[in-house]
Amino acid sequence: MAKRTRRVRHEPPKVWHNPDVLGDRRGSKGTKKAATPAPAREDLPPSSRGAPRSGRIVAVQRDAPDDRAMERDRLLGKLRLAEGRSAVTRAADELFKAGFELPADDQHVHLQLLEHSDEARVRSALAQLRVILEEEPVKRFAVLDSRLRRLEEFAEDAEVRAAATELRRRAKPAPEQRRA
């Protein structure tokens, strides 16, 4: 049995358009524009004749973030979302290479930095987390605890191992906080 081929219409659908209501349809093949002369410059009001205008003073928005702040926020977001040691290391190194510093009061960023492969960066993150945790409670205790345990066991630097042990002992939440 032969396959039926579908006929393709090469013309627009037959729909009646009232030009008084819709105006001229632009871009359609079937309509031709009536040649209307452009209005003479003398017929136009003085404001639209192209008379010279005075310059405008435009105020710069003070609230708009500049490119540098947007770049910093983008790199911090990349660090916050990084998973795994290599991704955290790449994101943090990119942030530091761009000349930015870490926010001093952000637990999540310093918690991510505990996964960095450079133990000097880990040591500074441990010191900053110690300061942060004196002021506010731990937000993600399970993650902090697991990363500190890993540092206690596998860190090459004895100073990092000791700092991780001390921070883990200090960061233990009270029993009423564990239930919440």
Residue-wise pLDDT for 16-25, tens only, equals: 666 666 565 5
Q: Which amino acid is at 117?
A: S
Which whole-number Å values give the CA distances from 177 to 108, 171, 174, in the listed order? Answer: 19, 12, 5
Residue 167 structure tokens: 């921070």
Span 49-73, mean pLDDT? 73
CA–CA separation, 155 vs 152, rounded Å? 6
Q: Work out the percent of the chain whose per-residue pLDDT is above 70.
A: 61
Burial level of 179, CB count in 10 A (0-12/13-18/19+)? Answer: exposed
Share of the chain above pLDDT 90, in %: 50
Q: How far apart are CA 162 and CA 37, in angstroms?
A: 88
Written as one letter, the residue type at 116 is: H
Residue 94 has pLDDT above 90, yes or no: yes
pLDDT digits (tens, 9 = 90+) for 108-124: 999 999 999 999 999 99
CA distances from 67 to 4, 64, 71, 74 (A): 60, 10, 6, 10
pLDDT of residue 50: 60
Residue 91 buriedness (CB in 10 A; 0-12 / 13-18 / 19+): buried
d(CA 148, CA 138): 13
Mean pLDDT of 132-136: 91
Residue 65 or 139, more confident: 139
Stronger pLDDT, 138 or 31, i.e. the higher one = 138
The pLDDT assigned to 25 comes to 57
Q: Could you give the dihedral angle defined by the CA atoms of residues 40, 45, 51 and 56, in that order, rounded to the nearest 10 degrees?
A: -140
Supply the pLDDT for residue 170: 86
Maximum pairwise Cα distance, the chain: 89
Q: What is the pLDDT of residue 36?
A: 60
* Contact indicator for 137, 178 with CB cutoff of 8 Å: no
Q: What band does 42 get if pLDDT is binned at 50, 70 and 90?
A: low
What residue ranges do the domains of the chain occupy?
67-179
Q: What is the mean pLDDT of residues 148-166?
A: 93
